[in-house]
């Protein structure tokens, strides 16, 4: 809805406007105040007791609504029954911190967080807020932690991890960890929206039940996967900060596609790219391996990972031997290595039963041993020179 400056309804709109988009017109110019679906602040309401759904515990005597800010300024442990709409949760000074109770039921209350001024969580204190239950996003929004001394927030799987989750819907959730001392940890995430990380801090994802299908955009900071966490359903991972899979308990993890110019830390793990359609110009490091099972991924950075390249399907495209990491073999089992520029390599090559293809659009010279039981296929206009031990027949 649009009001001109000076219209009597404009002032009322700025004070209270539920779930809508508002703008003021200054002559022919307009200024958007808030994204569609989000809220403009109506009231601040401070909680003083551990029962969210008891009006007497709120400073105004009424429960928060979609355009109200819930303020947590005193120490509270085990807040129960958070439910209904709320515009924003703001955490300020409370020496011993704030925590929500771990519900012992699958019949969890649903809390819908709308975001005031585009901010759903405003964590200003130096402690870590523990959140339980289901939180749905009523609009795209930012969850922010900003205290230079530390602090952040975490959502926890609890006793019933299937019922504890963040529901994005089609909305975008931005995690802004302003300082390198700020942290966040999120359990299960559902929906079709994007997950964005900004700031200098570390966001850790801990759930093997993540099913969100939007993109994962690491604009800055570090996104780490821990335990059995996976983001295999996310459309693509764009890394311009750091993507760290070294803390996983398993030996490997998969993503759909990899893009960006940042840093990927494998540790000793194998990262599989399952449906590649992008170029990654950053650096992949660690003792682990890179695998490609579908699509086409272009690596153009000076990679230092040491575990080799496993080509299970799709195409891995490089222009220099250094794009393939610091040492490590090339193993084929159905995939293709494409070289777009001429180079030489001393890497050993294994061709498993699924076979392998060298697509040489420029000359490629291999001096390492070539072994295995599969067929090796050569395509492309460049020359493939094999000078190492080679019992195979090139098709």
pLDDT tens string 294-312: 999 999 999 999 999 999 9
pLDDT recorded at residue 2: 36
Which of 139-153, 170-184, 381-395 shows the lowest mean pLDDT across its residues?
Answer: 381-395
Token look-up 């990491």 returns 325
> What are 75-120's pLDDT values in tens digits?
888 888 888 899 999 999 766 678 887 665 555 567 899 999 999 9
Query: Kindly report the CA angle at 121 between 115 and 123, in degrees rounded to 5?
Result: 150
Percent of the chain with pLDDT over 90: 75
Strand partners, 331: 310, 350
pTM, two decimal places: 0.89
For residues 42-55, give the mean pLDDT.
92
pLDDT of residue 351 exceeding 50: yes
Nearest to 254 by CA among 203, 314, 301: 314
> What are 184-239's pLDDT values in tens digits?
999 999 999 999 999 999 999 999 999 999 999 999 999 999 999 999 999 999 99
Residue 107: other Cβ atoms inside 10 A: 7
Residue 291: other Cβ atoms inside 10 A: 24
For residues 246-272, give the mean pLDDT.
98
Nearest to 325 by CA among 288, 294, 357, 358: 288
Over the Cα atoms of the chain, what is R_g?
Answer: 26
Cβ neighbors of 122 (< 8 A, separation 6 or more) are: 88, 89, 90, 91, 144, 146
Residue 223 backbone dihedrals phi, psi, to 5 degrees: -105, 120
Residue 5 pLDDT class (50, 70, 90 cuts)? very low
pLDDT recorded at residue 133: 79
pLDDT recorded at residue 134: 86
């Amino acid at each position: 809805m649009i009001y001109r400056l000076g219209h009597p309804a404009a002032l009322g709109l700025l004070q209270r406007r539920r779930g809508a988009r508002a703008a003021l017109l200054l002559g022919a110019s307009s200024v958007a105040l808030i994204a569609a679906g989000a809220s403009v602040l109506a009231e601040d309401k401070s909680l003083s007791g551990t029962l969210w759904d008891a009006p007497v515990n709120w400073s105004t005597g009424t429960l928060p609504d979609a355009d109200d800010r819930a303020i947590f300024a005193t120490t509270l442990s085990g807040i129960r029954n958070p439910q209904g709409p709320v515009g924003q949760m703001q955490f300020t000074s409370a020496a011993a911190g704030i925590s929500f109770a771990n519900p012992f039921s699958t019949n969890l209350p649903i809390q819908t967080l709308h975001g005031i001024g585009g901010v759903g969580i405003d964590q200003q204190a130096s402690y870590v807020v523990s959140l339980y239950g289901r939180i749905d996003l009523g609009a795209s929004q930012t969850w922010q932690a900003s205290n230079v001394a530390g602090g952040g927030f975490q959502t926890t799987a609890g006793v019933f991890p299937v019922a504890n989750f963040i529901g994005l819907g089609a909305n975008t959730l931005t995690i802004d960890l302003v300082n390198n001392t700020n942290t966040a940890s999120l359990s299960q995430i559902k929906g079709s929206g994007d997950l964005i990380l900004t700031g200098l801090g570390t966001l850790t994802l801990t759930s093997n039940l993540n099913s969100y299908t939007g993109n994962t955009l690491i604009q800055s900071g570090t996104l780490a996967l821990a335990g059995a966490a996976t983001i295999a359903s996310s459309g693509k991972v764009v890394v311009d900060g750091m993507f760290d899979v070294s803390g996983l308990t398993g030996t490997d993890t998969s993503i759909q596609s990899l893009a960006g110019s940042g840093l990927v830390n494998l540790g000793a793990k194998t990262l599989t790219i399952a449906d590649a359609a992008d170029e990654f110009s950053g650096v992949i490091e660690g003792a682990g391996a890179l695998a490609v099972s579908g699509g086409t991924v272009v690596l153009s950075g000076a990679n230092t990972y040491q575990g080799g390249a496993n080509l299970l399907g799709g195409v891995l495209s490089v222009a220099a031997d250094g794009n393939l990491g610091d040492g490590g073999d090339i193993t084929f089992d159905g995939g293709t290595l494409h070289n777009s520029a001429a180079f030489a390599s001393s890497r050993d090559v294994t061709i498993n039963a699924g076979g392998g293809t060298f697509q040489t659009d420029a000359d490629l010279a291999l001096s390492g041993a070539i072994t295995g039981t599969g067929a090796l296929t050569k395509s492309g206009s460049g020359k493939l020179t094999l000078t190492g031990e080679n019992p195979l027949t090139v098709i």
